[in-house]
A and B are shown apart, each in its own frame.
Chain A
Amino acid sequence: MHDERLDVRVTGESAARETAPAITFDAISKSFTRPGGKPLEVLRRVGFVVPRGTVVAILGPSGCGKSTLLNMAAGLIAPDAGSVAVMGRDIAAGTVDWSRVGYMFQDDRLLPWRSARQNVALALEAGTMPSRERIARADAAIDLVELAGFAGAYPHELSGGMRSRVALARSLVGEPTILLMDEPFSRLDAQTRSAMHRELLRIQALRQMTILFVTHEIEEAVVLADQIVVMAPRPGRIRTEVAVTIPQPRIGAAATTALVNELRQSLGEAEPAPENHP
């Protein structure tokens, strides 16, 4: 079944792929059927793009389908309607190169029988990399998340924040060009969190990495993202998209605080209690 028009279309497509966004969500709808219940509509016609080399945040209340969206971008679940493309390739067609896509789940999912180092190395075990190199890279990734000295510890010997940093190292160790992160810093204290923010931005700029991440915190979205996708629940829809153009470093900048407050107001959250200045 050879068709010339098909060839033309394919060539045209591969040229378009060079410039295609890292991730494209095109009118995604998804319902889950619960056993014995009526279907739960989780996403309704959600569409947005994540351009290459940018950081995009998904912001929204619990249960609005944020993790579901990331699972779709990782090719773990398929939408009922609409399509998801990674680097211009439709996931449904099965031609996406997944080796450069990192996924940090909402829970850490560390294998309890593996040490931190071995857990990080797991992400390199799909291919044929020799184990010595896997371990060397895992150790480097563990240094990156400031856990040097805990590489040999088992998950139960680590705190919640340390475990989520091991999971972060596991998602970074394959040097992904696209990184999907589901509430990556939610279990860190404020200080470690801003250290991790700086580190992530450094790696992102260095590797020209595309990041799509989920967060509950307006401030985190404003500090990290070039684009914020704000979602509304039941069913999950896009409420608004906000472009952030404040230059880095944004942490502590006046413009950052202003945008955070503006977003807080427009999204209907209470303003933080005014601080008492002496």
Chain B
Amino acid sequence: MSEAEAIAASRVPAGLKTALQRCALAAILLVVWWLVSLVTPAYVMPNPIRVWQRIVQLTASGDLPSNLLVTLLRVIAGFLIAVVIGVPAGLVLGSNRTLGNFFEPVLPVLNTVSSAIWAIFAIIWFGLTPLTPIFVVLMTALPLIVTNVWQGTQAVNADFVELARALRFSRAKTLRKIYLPSILPYFFSGARLAFGFGWRVSLVAETIGSSSGVGYRMRQASDLIQTDQVFAWTIVQIAMMLVIEILLLQPLERRLFRWRRDVRS
């Protein structure tokens, strides 16, 4: 355990150093923003203090939390549907050569379809309902998850499968104890990409095809030239994605993949 403590001890100053660097970077950006706002009209570049007041006001009125939650739930819904469809699809395509070869061209095609096109189709099919942003998130996330899980199945070590055979594991056990852990890193990086992209395209979808959510409120604010509100929404969602990344994804990744050799020097 003393070795682990030594490693932990050597990490703390490094972590502190990066934290300080990040704070310095944020401070520099704030100062630059403030300087620019001094020489431009407020409807082009509102100053940081005014944006901060706007964030406080939107939070107090409940407008901000409720719309943030609405958008987040839509992204999560689209993302989860993509996982539920994409993981089995990736597993099947990866384990069946004939099916894999047949469907292979579909993924690059899906990937080239812009989310704006999906949004337009969604409006035609679903109108101004929550289904529109959910559908757009789904169609963006799905190819990413299928591709990554598919790649993961190709990376499963045949020797490990043979080991499972020598131990007389059932098919289900082999899937659970050999295939899934081998595929997990691929799934994780696919899911992470899919969630990030999903968030971005959900805003696009909400600006053109929704009557609630962060994207809708941003378009409203821009139509009324309330630039400080547009800034407020932008900063809040950047903050939210950072919080998800730092408090959820990174610890999860560290826990799931602590068995990996650290490639950083």
| A105 and B173 contacting across the interface, CB-CB below 8 Å | no
| A109 and B169 contacting across the interface, CB-CB below 8 Å | no
Those of B150-205 within 8 Å (CB) of chain A: 159-160, 162-163, 165-170, 173, 177-178, 181, 184
Of all chain B residues, the one with the shortest Cβ separation from A115 is B259
B254 at the interface (CB under 8 A from A): no
Q: Which residue from A113, A122, A156 sits with its C-beta under 8 Å from B167? A: A122
Q: Mark B114-141, 1 if CB is under 8 A from A, else 0.
A: 0000000000000000000000000000
| A125 and B166 contacting across the interface, CB-CB below 8 Å | no
* Residue of B159, B167, B168, B169 ringed by the most chain A CB atoms within 10 A: B167
Interface SS of chain B: helix
- The number of chain A residues touching the other chain, given as a range, is 10 to 19
| B168 and A112 contacting across the interface, CB-CB below 8 Å | no
Those of A156-203 within 8 Å (CB) of chain B: 156
Per CB-CB distance, the 3 closest pairs between chain A and chain B, nearest first, are A156-B261, A154-B259, A113-B259
Of all chain B residues, the one with the shortest Cβ separation from A105 is B163
Given contacts A109-B160, A113-B259, A123-B167, 11 further A-B contacts (CB under 8 A): A99-B168, A105-B159, A109-B159, A109-B163, A111-B160, A114-B259, A122-B167, A125-B167, A126-B169, A156-B259, A156-B261
Given contact pairs A109-B160, A154-B259, A125 touches B169 in the complex (Cβ within 8 A): yes
| B166 and A74 contacting across the interface, CB-CB below 8 Å | yes
Complex Cα gap A111–B178 (Å): 8
Given contact pairs A74-B166, A76-B166, A103-B166, A126 touches B160 in the complex (Cβ within 8 A): no
Q: What residues of A have a CB within 8 angstroms of the CB of B170 in the complex?
A: 126
Complex Cα gap A2–B212 (Å): 75
A241 at the interface (CB under 8 A from B): no
Of all chain B residues, the one with the shortest Cβ separation from A156 is B261
Q: What residues of A have a CB within 8 angstroms of the CB of B163 in the complex?
A: 105, 109
A48 at the interface (CB under 8 A from B): no
